[in-house]
Amino acid sequence: MPLVTVAQLLAKAEAGGYAVGAFNCNNMEIVQAIVAAAEAENAPVIIQASQGAIKYAGLDVIVALVRTAAANSPVPIALHLDHGTSFEQCIQCITAGFTSVMIDGSKYPLAENIALTKQVLAAGRAVGASVEAELGKIGGTEDDITVNAKDAFFTHPQEAKEFVEATGVGSLAVAIGTAHGQYKGVPQLDFARLAEIKALVNIPIVLHGSSGVPDDQIKEAIRLGVRKVNIDTNIREAFVAAARQAIMANPNEIDPRKVLGPAREATKEIIRDKIRVFGSSGQA
Ligand code: G3H
Ligand code: 13P
Ligand code: ZN
C-alpha cells in the first residue's frame, strides 16, 4: 500500500495502547529486513532515515527503496526523517516523499525550539505530513549524564505542557534516561517523569535511544504512554555481527549476497523480537 503518515500509525497505537517500532535504515538490506519483519508480525512499522543515512545512501535512493517496499507490502509503513536539523531539510524530505519528519530543536532555547517546530508544523500541515519534536536533550551514551546533570538534560513536564500547547505538535520525543548508542551499564528510565509528562500532554510520546533498554522497561514506558520506539544500534549490531560471522566462516567468499543475505536475515529476526515487545504484532 502507499506510504502512510506516522500520525496515522500513532493515533491507532494510542487507541490500542501499544507502540510502533521506528527502525533506522541505511541500505537496501535493512529496508527489506524491516519490511519482512513487519509482514511476518502483521505489524505497522516506521522506517526512518538519519542525517548519516541520507549522507550515505542519498535521499532519493532512500525514498525509492522505502516507497517501493511499501507499495509491494500489505502492512502500513511510514517514512520518517530522524532528527531533522532545519526547516529546509524537513521541506526537502517532505518534497522528496517522506510522510513524516522530526524537527530536532532540542539544542535551542525553549522559545526558539517552539518557533522552529511551529514553522515545520505549518508546512507539514499544508501537505499532510506529520511532525515530531524533541524537548530535553537525549544525547549519546558518551555524554555521560550524571545524576546532578539530570535536571538540565531531562524533559521538564511543565515545559513539555507549555511546548505542546504553544506548538500543537503531533508527537514529542522526551529525555527520560535513554541515550543513543550502546549503554555502558543498564539504563534506568525515569518513569515518574514520564507519567507526569503524559498527564500534562495528551499526545503520543516518542522514546529515542531504545536499543539496550531492557524489555520490561520498554513495556512500562509503553504502558505510560510511549507510542513510538526508536531502534538503530541493535540493528547495526545484528547486521554487522551476522556479516562478520559469514565472512569469518568463509574468508574467501567474494559474493556480497553471501555476506549481506545472512545480515538481512539476522536483522529481520531482531526487529521481529522488538515488534513483539512493543505490542504491535497483529496491529497492521
Ligand atoms: O539518532 C541516532 C541515529 O542512530 C543516527 O545515527 O547519523 O550515524 O546514522 P547516524
Ligand atoms: P539507538 O541507536 O540507541 O537505538 O537510538 C535510535 C534513535 O533514537 C534514533 O533516533
Ligand atoms: Zn534519536
Smallest CA-to-CA distance from 168 within 97, 127, 119, 98 is with 119
- Rounded to whole angstroms, what are the CA distances from 19 to 32, 55, 180? 21, 28, 19
Report the domain count for the chain.
1
DSSP state, residue 15: H
CA angle 138, 37, 56 (to 5 degrees): 55
Inside any domain, residue 284? no
Residue 241 CA to residue 79 CA, distance in Å, equals 26
Q: What is the CATH number of the domain that holds 84?
A: 3.20.20.70
Least confident range from 78-87, 98-107, 145-154, 269-278: namely 145-154
Q: What is the mean pLDDT of residues 193-220?
A: 98
Distance 135 CA to ligand 3 centre (A): 12
3-state secondary structure of 173: strand
Residue 207 CA to residue 230 CA, distance in Å, equals 6
> So what's the pLDDT on residue 231?
98
Inside any domain, residue 171? yes
Q: How many CA atoms lie within 13 A of 273 on its CB side?
A: 14
Pocket, ligand 1, Cβ cutoff 6 A: 24, 50-53, 82-83, 180, 232
Smallest CA-to-CA distance from 16 within 179, 223, 256 is with 223
Single pTM value for the model? 0.97
Residue 82 designated active-site = yes
Burial class, 8, CB count within 10 angstroms (exposed 0-12 / middle 13-18 / buried 19+): middle
Q: What is the mean pLDDT of residues 247-251?
A: 98
Distance 210 CA to ligand 3 centre (A): 9
Inside any domain, residue 1? no
- Catalytic annotation, pick one of 82, 104, 215, 216: 82
Smallest CA-to-CA distance from 30 within 247, 283, 278, 261 is with 261
Distance 180 CA to ligand 1 centre (A): 8
The ligand that comes nearest to the alpha carbon of residue 48 is 2
Inside any domain, residue 283? no
Determine what percent of the chain falls in helix, strand and coil, rounding each to the nearest 5.
Answer: 55, 15, 30
Inside any domain, residue 129? yes
At 270, list the grid cell.
531482531
| Ligand 2 close to Cβ of residue 41 (< 6 A) | no
Mean pLDDT of the chain: 96
> So what's the pLDDT on residue 145?
59
Q: What is the mean pLDDT of residues 244-264?
A: 98
Distance 250 CA to ligand 1 centre (A): 30
Nearest CA to ligand 1 atom 7: 52
Residue 116 CA to residue 133 CA, distance in Å, equals 10
Domain of residue 125: give its range. Answer: 6-278
Inside any domain, residue 213? yes
> So what's the pLDDT on residue 150?
74
**How much of the chain exceeds pLDDT 70, in percent?**
96
Nearest CA to ligand 2 atom 1: 209
| CB count in 10 Å sphere of residue 201 | 23
